[in-house]
């Protein structure tokens, strides 16, 4: 089992299910200025979820719009940079022994990609504006790759067996 603690949440997956990309050799090798999500996890066969965990997020209010827009851009960059790093590994342009073999052997025609943001302590009614903003900001990626964007709190993440526990 591999455990990842992030934003006061504990994630736990079997070794063949998870690639902790943020702390990987791959991320280090590619260099400074490249952002990353915490990890990539295969929840089902040919389904790869890029997980970003946060302990809070700004609300899209009139007084807070600039912070909200910056948050959306920064987290979106993490998803896209991690996706690109992941693909370089799958295409074997970079090598990292921590990438599970089944990731490297993915069926490229059937692979499904999900960008999942988990925000600890977020109320359910705060999730839709974030979901909408990310869906709009990542529209090009969703159209090109058919990727899915999902914003949930730790309770939903636990229901979906993404989060083992939270502190």
Q: What pLDDT digit, counting tens, does each position of 114-156 carry?
A: 999 999 988 899 899 999 999 999 999 999 999 999 999 989 9
Q: Could you give the 3-state DSSP secondary structure of residue 58?
A: coil
Whether 84 shows a pLDDT value over 90: the answer reads: yes
Is the pLDDT assigned to residue 94 strictly greater than 90? no
Question: Average per-residue pLDDT in the chain?
Answer: 91
Cα separation, 57 vs 33, in Å, equals: 22
| Contacts of residue 54, Cβ cutoff 8 Å, sequence gap at least 6 | 7, 75, 117, 118, 119, 120
Pairing of strands 9-13, 165-166: antiparallel
* Mean pLDDT score, 73-95: 93
**Whether the predicted pLDDT of 8 surpasses 90:** no
Partners of residue 164 on adjacent β-strands: none
- Does residue 63 register a pLDDT over 90? no
Q: Is pLDDT above 70 for 161?
A: yes
Print the domain residue range for 34: 2-166
User: Do 10 and 167 form a contact (C-beta atoms < 8 A)?
Assistant: yes
Evaluate whether 18 touches 41 at the Cβ level (below 8 Å): yes
Q: What's the domain count of the chain?
A: 1
Residue, of 72 and 160, whose pLDDT is higher: 72
pLDDT at 139: 95
Whether residue 167 is predicted with pLDDT greater than 70 in this model: the reply is no
Please state, in angstroms and rounded to a whole number, the distance separating the CA atoms of residues 116 and 152.
8
* Chain CA centroid to CA 89, Å: 16
């Amino acid at each position: 089992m591999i455990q990842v603690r992030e934003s006061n949440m504990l994630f736990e997956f079997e070794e063949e299910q998870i690639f902790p990309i943020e702390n990987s050799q791959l991320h280090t090798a590619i260099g400074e200025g490249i952002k990353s999500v915490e990890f990539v996890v295969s929840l089902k066969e040919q389904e790869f979820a890029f997980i970003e965990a946060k302990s809070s997020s700004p609300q899209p209010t009139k007084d807070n719009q600039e912070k909200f827009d910056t948050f959306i851009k920064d987290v979106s960059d993490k998803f896209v940079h991690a996706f690109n790093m992941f693909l370089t590994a799958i295409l074997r342009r970079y090598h990292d022994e921590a990438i599970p073999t089944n990731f490297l052997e993915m069926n490229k025609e059937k692979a499904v990609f999900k960008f999942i943001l988990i925000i600890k302590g977020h109320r359910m009614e705060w999730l839709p504006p974030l979901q909408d903003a990310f869906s709009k900001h990542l529209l090009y990626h969703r159209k090109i790759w058919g990727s899915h964007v999902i914003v949930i709190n730790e309770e939903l993440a636990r229901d979906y067996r993404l989060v083992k526990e939270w502190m």
